[in-house]
Homo-oligomer: A and B are copies of this chain.
Amino acid sequence: MASVRSVYSSDDTERPEFKTNFGVDYVIHYEIPPDGMLRFTKTQALFQAHTDPERTEAAKAEASFVQLIEALASVGLATEVRRGDDTSLLIFLKIASEDLLKQQVYRYRVQDWLYGVRASAPNKDVALYFENEPVVEAEKLRLVYLLITKPKSEGGAGVTPKIGQWKFVKSVFPLHNHTFNKHFIKQLSTKYFIEENDINEIRDKFGEKIAFYFAFMQSYFAFLLFPAAFGFGAWLVLGQFSWFYAIVNSLWSVIFFEYWKKKEVDLAVQWGVRGVSRIQHPRSEFQFERVVEDPVTGEHVKVYPPLKRLQRQLLQLPFAIVCLLVLGSLIIFCFAIEIFLSEVYNGPLKQYLVFLPTVILTVFMPALTTVLTNFAEKLTVLENYETQDSHKAAFVQKMFVINFIVSYLPIFLTAFVYVPFGKLLVPYLDVFHVTAQHFAKDGKIEIKAFEVNPDRLKKQIIYFTVTAQVVNFLLESIVPLVKRTVFKAVKEAKSEVRHGNTRSLHNDPVEESAFLDRVRNEAELDVYDVTVDYREMVVQFEHALTGQNLGYLSLFSVIWPLTGCSFLVNNWIEARSDAMKIAISNQRPIPWRSDSIGPWLSSLGFLSWLGSLTSAAIVFLFNRDPYGPDGLPSNVKGWALLLSVLFAEHLYLLVQIVIRYVISHLDSPGVQKERAERFAARKLLLQETLSDSLVESAAGSNFTGPEKITRNALEEEARQASISSSRQATPEQLFWQRQRGAAEAIQIGRGLISQTAQAIKTKDQ
């Protein structure tokens, strides 16, 4: 894929292929295996010869292709086939007719209404309805994707990339809308704030899930202005370890968290997706143990015993422990070496050796993290969830554990182990000394006396919040670009070696040629092998990053108040770089819906809460005047530390309750819109479902009916009573006949009142 410059800076007229998608909704990238047995499975092929002699891989691919086109046609998708690269086809899909699309949209909107996502049922006048509520691009693409991938039993084509019958389907992706993307990138890169309007546009093109991400980034950015400004002020005036900064910072994180929870609901309502998380997409990999008939709906439901799942979920505990042990020992090991080298060791090669821990970390950390992530995924698969959402949430939970250890453990070690206990622990580092002596020629190594370095904590924070962020950003945005460019060059070179000229191989019609080349490029973009839905996970990882930042901010920013400033810049760049990633360097994402930022929400809450504990502990430990003789906290009282932590935590929880209460009582446009919709829907339903007289009585404002009824009823009853009383009246009948109608009751009552009143008066006097 070309760089941004080459795509968007050039004159529009120059690259007409970016201006049209030829009406294509989706492209299926279809892989073609070589004709004949695969060489490395010769024995396997021999073995297979008995059972299936003629079916070579290519033949299978061909048969599967036929099934694919038929399946797609059967659900109403038009197809065009073109050459892909040397070993693949491109199958272009579009929904065959407007009517079919509208039918699909209507159907899903009715489903939404039934699940309570939409307040009102779609209008029966379809033409008028679609004029009022048109279909946006994201909705169309989502429905077409569902049409392609849903099981046949649910009316889809049942195409599941890379699985079973469809193993030759490499990917199914929508084509980028480059006209919009260009506008989108331009908008974002020239603005400080992403505006409401931009987010709505994102929603229309990329779906609510991605729109939520940008909305969150935007809110976070706006909120970051405060800790950036306040942090700068605190840095100037209050210095490090200020309890005032800690309190304000904690308060800020509570307010932000509660604000976002409200905002989230608001956006969901505005976008009409409130509650869509209830409409769950089944996970195709779900393994069921038995099929049970639902006592309610009579449908056959695949069941996996929840107790069995619970047992497997318990494996998370050993998993977390293993993560802590594995990552923890690596971190502690490097930490120990580093301390030894930088603060104790004074021998030869010191200037090179200090880089040793960084090298070890850089080499082993990603490897270990990858292994553990794979492990987390296996564990999640083992837990065997019914729906994609619960699967993803469970995976994110495990990722959070890994992330947490990698991101925060080093700082925890410095703050709560190295500084307070450094003097006690450093002697144990003699083991390195002994090791070093082995390698030294004269068997003797210079060492200096150990001093706890109180500046280490600040340096570490600056490393994590500035240096690491920059490095990370570079790695994230430049490495993939280089990788892709190299890969593409290699591929093209190969192709050229084979055929001399690319164009002649593809044999494209002139007017399509540029477009097809563009699609071939898009097909190559970021096709991760990890899971089918990796593209979605990307957004989750971005959330992880943001969450990490928020974590540093609430957990440790009291050490270095400028953290907020750093993240303000970082956040601005991050949002733009993510936009680039989505618009250019990745395949266009499937525009899924969502009604929140998902499982990260609870992680953010957790970090914010933990921040109240760590901030209190750090302030207590380090903000002491006078310092000990070595400028360090020396006379720390354990109970006082714990008491301040305990106090801070409960203060935090109390404040959270109060803020939650206050925010829940604020009105908001989303909530108001929902109320309006529900009210309108109720009114409509009432009019439709009930007869007029009942509507009147149910509306209740002018309730005139009963009075007449009563008078009549009373007269009728009185008449009937007089008839029956002429016969034999029961005591009950007699009781109610003493006063016939209200008039008589009034008359008799008045008599009784004046009698009684008189009697009391007489007696009192």
Which B residues are CB-close (under 8 A) to A86? Answer: 756, 759-760
Is A58 an interface residue, CB under 8 A from the partner? yes
Given contacts A35-B760, A83-B752, A645-B646, contact A697 B103 (CB under 8 A): yes
A22 proximity list for chain B (CB < 8 A): 731-732, 735-736
Contact across chains for A32 and B83 when beta carbons are under 8 A apart: no
State the CA gap A237–B226 with chains docked (Å): 59
- A753 smallest CB distance to B (angstroms): 5
Q: How many copies does the complex hold?
A: 2
Which of A60-68, A197-205, A238-246, A532-540 forms contacts with chain B? A60-68
Cα distance, A637 to B637, chains bound together (Å): 11
A76 touches B709 (CB 8 A): yes
A641 to B640, CA, bound (A): 11
On whether A97 and B742 interact (CB within 8 A), knowing A61-B753, A691-B124, the answer reads: no
A643 at the interface (CB under 8 A from B): yes
Is A686 within 8 A of B114, CB to CB?
yes
For A694, the chain B residues whose CB sits under 8 A away are 106-107, 110
The answer to the question of A707 belonging to the interface, with a C-beta cut-off of 8 Å to chain B, is yes
* Interface residue A477 (Cβ < 8 Å from any Cβ of B): no
Q: Does A685 contact B (CB under 8 A)?
A: yes
CB of A135 within 8 A of chain B? Answer: no
Query: Which of B103, B153, B690, B761 is in CB contact (< 8 Å) with A701?
Result: B153
CA distance A637 to B640 in the complex (A): 11
Which one of A251-259, A268-276, A418-426, A671-679 is at the B interface? A671-679
Is A710 at the interface (CB under 8 A from chain B)?
yes
Shortest CB-to-CB span from A356 to chain B, Å, is 37
Of residues 634 through 680 on chain A, the ones whose CB sits less than 8 Å from some CB of chain B are 637-643, 645-646, 662, 665-666, 672, 675-676, 679
- Judged by a CB distance under 8 angstroms, whether A312 is at the interface is no
In the complex, per-residue mask of A692-726: 1 if CB is within 8 Å of any chain B CB, else 0 = 00100110110101110110011001000000000
Q: How far is the CA of A738 from the CA of B22 in the complex (A)?
A: 13
For A665, the chain B residues whose CB sits under 8 A away are 306, 310
Quick one: CB contact mask for A25-48 with B, threshold 8 Å, 1 for yes? 000000011111001000000000
* Residue tally, chain A, CB below 8 Å to B: 121
A121 lies within 8 A of chain B by Cβ = yes
Q: Which residue of B lies closest to A731 (CB)?
A: B511
Cβ-defined contact, B155 with A760, below 8 A: no
On whether the beta carbons of B739 and A114 are closer than 8 Å, the reply is no
* A476 within 8 A of partner (CB): no
Interface residue from B61, B114, B645, B745 paired with A81 (Cβ < 8 Å):
B745
Q: Which residues of B have CB within 8 Å of A114?
A: 682, 685-686
- The answer to whether B736 touches A698, judged by C-beta atoms less than 8 angstroms apart, is no
Partner of A710, one of B73, B717, B731: B73
Min C-beta distance of A278 to chain B, whole Å:
11
A74 interface contact, C-beta 8 A: yes
CB pair B710–A69 under 8 Å, yes or no, is no
Contact B62 A754 (CB under 8 A): yes
How far is it, in angstroms, between the C-alpha of A679 and the C-alpha of B115 when the chains are bound? Answer: 10
The answer on a CB contact under 8 Å between B33 and A757 is yes
- Chain B residues within an 8 Å CB radius of A764: 34, 39
Residues of chain B within 8 A of A490, CB atoms compared:
none
Across-interface contacts of A749 in B (CB, < 8 A) = 65-66, 69, 81, 89, 91
**Which 7 A-B pairs rank lowest in CB-CB distance, beginning with the nearest?**
A638-B639, A155-B703, A58-B757, A35-B757, A642-B642, A73-B742, A97-B713
Other A-B contacts than A33-B760, A73-B741, A509-B738, 20 sampled, CB-CB below 8 A, are A22-B736, A32-B753, A34-B764, A69-B745, A74-B706, A74-B710, A76-B713, A79-B742, A87-B760, A94-B736, A96-B717, A97-B709, A99-B713, A124-B691, A154-B703, A498-B763, A512-B731, A638-B640, A642-B642, A642-B646
20 pairs of residues in contact across A and B, judged by CB atoms under 8 Å: A22-B732, A23-B735, A34-B760, A58-B753, A58-B757, A62-B750, A65-B749, A70-B742, A78-B710, A79-B739, A79-B745, A80-B745, A81-B749, A86-B759, A106-B694, A111-B698, A121-B685, A124-B690, A155-B706, A297-B676
